[in-house]
Amino acid sequence: HVFSIDGNYDLSPKLTLGGKYGYRLSQVAPRGTTVFADETAHLGIVRLDWHVVHKWDILGEARMLYTEQSDTTETGALLAAYRHIGNNAKIGLGYEWGRVSDNPLNIDYTGAGIFLNLIAKF
């Protein structure tokens, strides 16, 4: 079971603060067994978008995933620059560090390196 909520708040015309909370309740079993145990995880993300100049944005994001049963905390972050293409799209290039995805379903995630992202809006 997964619950996720996120939102954004414009601090000013150039700064937007965003956040996300995700909750995952699942059951896992070691390979080769049928003994399942609960696994509960909490995902927290804080994001800041900065509209630098006309058609250019920079964003930074910090992520944390806490797993209750194993009492472990994983962290991650990303930094990216985006260029607006007209009113309905933007393309970004960035770098990601850490072991935390923005998707609470990803259990074994390792994200590190450069990424390219295309966003369309209608």
Per residue in 63-112, pLDDT (tens digit) is 999 988 888 899 999 999 999 999 899 999 999 998 888 777 776 666 78
- The percent helix, strand, coil of the chain (3-state, each to 5) is 0, 70, 30
- Name the residue with tokens 């937007």: 16
The angle formed by the CA atoms of residues 4, 109 and 89, to the nearest 5 degrees, is: 60
Structural tokens at position 99: 């072991």
Kindly provide the b/e burial profile for residues 24-49, where b requires at least 16 CB atoms within 10 angstroms of the residue's own CB: beeeeeeeeeeeeeeeebebebebeb
**Mean pLDDT, the chain, as a whole number?**
90
Q: What is the pLDDT of residue 109?
A: 66
Quote the pTM value.
0.82
Per residue in 14-67, pLDDT (tens digit) is 999 999 999 999 887 778 888 888 888 999 999 999 999 989 999 999 999 998
